[in-house]
A = this chain, B = another copy of it.
Amino acid sequence: MTHDIHNRIALFRAEHAMSRRDLAEAVSVNPQTIGYLERGDYKPSLELGMKLARVFAVPVELLFSFDPFPPMADALRAAGERP
Contacts and interface: CB of A to CB of B under 8 A. Distances in A.
A49 interface: yes
Nearest to A64: B46
A5 interface: yes
A54 to B, nearest CB: 8
Contact of A47 (B5, B47, B48, B50): B5
A34 B66 CA distance: 21
B59 A2 contact: no
Contacts of A22: none
Given A46-B60, A59-B61, A60-B61, 8 more contacts: A2-B28, A5-B47, A44-B45, A45-B46, A46-B49, A46-B64, A49-B49, A50-B64
